Amino acid sequence: MSLEQRDLGGQIQTQFQDVVSRLSSKQFFQSDWDIASCAIFFIFVGTVFLLIILVLIRCCCCCCCDTPKQRRTGKVGHDNLALEP
């Protein structure tokens, strides 16, 4: 094994031991910034999921049930009286 593979294996092992020690001590966050960043991340993910669900509801429920709307054939807009002689 090369030196880089041993170093990578050592880093993975230390990270694994860190995760196991945090789980056993039930202290997942080390500072207030960890808690704030986790909360912001979950708020962002929740907002994205909510928007996706709303789009799916709009596409699945509303598109199939809409009746074809009748078009107006009347005049649209305003008359420009300045163009008339």
Buried b (16+ CB within 10 A) or exposed e, 20-35: eeeeeeeeeeeeeeee
Tell me the average pLDDT across 64-70: 59
pLDDT of residue 16: 87
pLDDT band with cut points at 50, 70 and 90 for residue 71: low
d(Cα 53, Cα 48) in Å, to the nearest integer? 9
- 4 or 14: which leads in pLDDT: 14
Cα–Cα distance, 13 to 20 (Å, whole number): 10
Scanning the chain, the segments in alpha helix (DSSP H) are 3-25, 32-57, 63-65
Tell me the pLDDT tens digit for each residue of 14-65.
Answer: 988 888 887 787 777 778 888 899 899 999 999 999 999 999 888 887 665 6
pLDDT at 10: 86
pTM above 0.95, yes or no: no
- 11 compared with 47, residue with greater pLDDT: 47
Tell me how many degrees the CA angle 76-66-74 measures, rounded to the nearest 5.
Answer: 15
Domain ranges across the chain: 1-30, 34-63
